[in-house]
Chain A
Amino acid sequence: MKLLIVDDSDMIRRAIKRTLEKPHDQIEMASNGVEALRVIERFEPEAVTMDISMPQMDGLTCIEGILRIRPGTRILVISALKDKPTAVEAVRRGAQGFLLKPFTAEALSFEISDLLV
């Protein structure tokens, strides 16, 4: 599986990577939306985990950008935002999954496998 992890927290990026990484997986990471779009151009991941509140370009804008460049990409929003309107907006813009921070390793693995079904 090719996966891109987008989150402005280095700690969370590494935690997600540790949880999901299996042999033969290719995982790349980006710390904001702008960086994510640059990675998407060359990396072509099947799945993306996406934070919402990030500097430079927020997750909502980034979701749209990613799907414009690679329409089939599956996006799982992982956010600490309890703000419902933002969550609805993320799904409306094309995120296929939604996971609230803090999350367990099991929940994350489940969401990713559900994303790829």
Chain B
Amino acid sequence: MSVLLNIRRLRKYYPIFGGVLRRKLAEVKAIDGVNLKMYKGECFGLVGESGCGKTTLGKTTIRLLDPTAGSIYFEAPDDVMEEIDKLENSNEDSARLKELQKKYDLAKYRGANLRTLRRKMQIVYQDPTTSLNPRMLVKDIVSEPLVTQGLAKGQDRKKRAIEILDKVGLTEKHLYRYPHEFSGGQRQRIAVARALVTNPEFVVLDEPTSSVDVSMRAQLLNLFQDLQKDLNLSYLFVSHDLSVVECIAHRVAVMYLGKIVELAQTEDLYKNPLHPYAQALLSSIPIPDPAVKGRRAMLSGEVPSPVNPPSGCRFHARCAKAMQICSQQEPELIDVGNGHMVACHAIR
């Protein structure tokens, strides 16, 4: 599989302003040094508690938010990546590196480049009742990306809208209706249609099933899987619903306080989580089987503030296996075999 996205040392800080002069007082470190690779045609799951930076990572990846630092290489061929690595390591201010970054690093995209990028990367938001404009017809909602991108006009535009509605399980007769006339699941389908109308390659699904019912959830997940196969899409599936991610994602990353603590193939991660936080998180999923009871690792306390994250390993204050080194040195994300990456001092 070829690499679609290569995220390097990505940071996103939100400033907190205060005082009489609106000075910058502190920063919320929403993403603090994330390294990731996403492959073509993959569904990459991103899980973690609320406030750990999952949504920020999703939005920064497609440049809906500007990263504070770091780079996101999009569709960069392997040889180009090697060259970039070499140039970066040489620590020189070379014009070649700048040129390559301008071409491949979408963290540095501006203007027309960024606009064309929007065609290739799209997002489906959490709550379709708020992400769809209540005063626009479905036809206008779905074809709006075509208008802003200047991709189709007149009859063509309508034809394309019908085509994409058909793909998400809606029909032509839904074109001239308003979002409020649909059920929650159908609204989410409209949001999906809007995201897919420009033929993107990469779609961020930001908790797409959290606002729909159990029975509709299954239908939506099936739709995502079918669309992925049909249109050869890559997904970043952000969710706090761990059981859904287990079923749909190929690889999963667990985030904690702006950092990725563990990353592995879905099966590896769910069967054999290594990081203490991942273990606690996964064991707190309620299992729908009354015969299984009492084998829970309960976490005490709450997630610390991302304004002043703890020193060293960010989890050390809540970790049962914390050692001396944990509070001093930040663990690196290292491969322990078979693409299973963990950031923990206890695992070497």
A and B from one complex: no
- Contact surface of B with A, Cβ cutoff 8 Å: none
